[in-house]
């Protein structure tokens, strides 16, 4: 089964198109280096929870939207190889200074697929 690298970030509402453009550019790079699928999802129904929630996880501020994203790879090894090659070749350097959000509040992690129906 696939391996998934997941991301959650808060993006200022007015930066939606800038975020989408950056994500599209990054997706091209990830695909070139081995990702099989990239999904970017703009939050439209992200409720506040009683104990925890997506907005608190990324310290969302007024006027920000939570974005939930994931990148699929054939395996964890493929993900690890992709990230290592991208870092060694500075594959994202051309546009990472253009991030239209606070990258310090991004949460991310790798996940092994256990069900895909």
pLDDT single digits (tens) 57-85: 999 999 999 999 999 999 999 999 999 99
Q: Which residue has the higher pLDDT, 94 or 31?
A: 31
Q: What is the pTM of this model?
A: 0.92
Q: What is the pLDDT of residues 19-64, one digit of tens each?
A: 999 999 999 999 999 999 999 999 999 999 999 999 999 999 999 9
Q: How far apart are CA 102 and CA 79, in angstroms?
A: 24
One-letter-per-residue 3-state SS of 33-102: CCCCEEEEEECCCCCCCCCCCHHHHCCCCCCEEEEEEEEEECCHHHHHHHHHHHHHCCCCCCCHHHCCCC
pLDDT at 97: 83
């Amino acid at each position: 089964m696939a391996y998934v690298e997941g991301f959650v970030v808060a993006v200022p509402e007015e930066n939606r198109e800038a975020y989408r453009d950056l994500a599209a550019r990054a997706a091209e790079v990830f695909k070139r280096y081995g990702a099989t699928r990239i999904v970017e999802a703009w939050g439209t129904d992200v409720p506040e929870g009683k104990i925890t929630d997506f907005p608190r996880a990324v310290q969302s501020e007024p006027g920000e939207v939570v974005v939930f994203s994931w990148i699929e790879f054939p395996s964890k090894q493929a993900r690890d190889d992709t990230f290592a090659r991208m870092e060694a070749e500075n594959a994202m350097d051309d546009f990472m200074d253009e991030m239209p959000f606070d990258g310090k509040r991004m949460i991310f992690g790798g996940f092994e697929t256990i069900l895909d129906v």
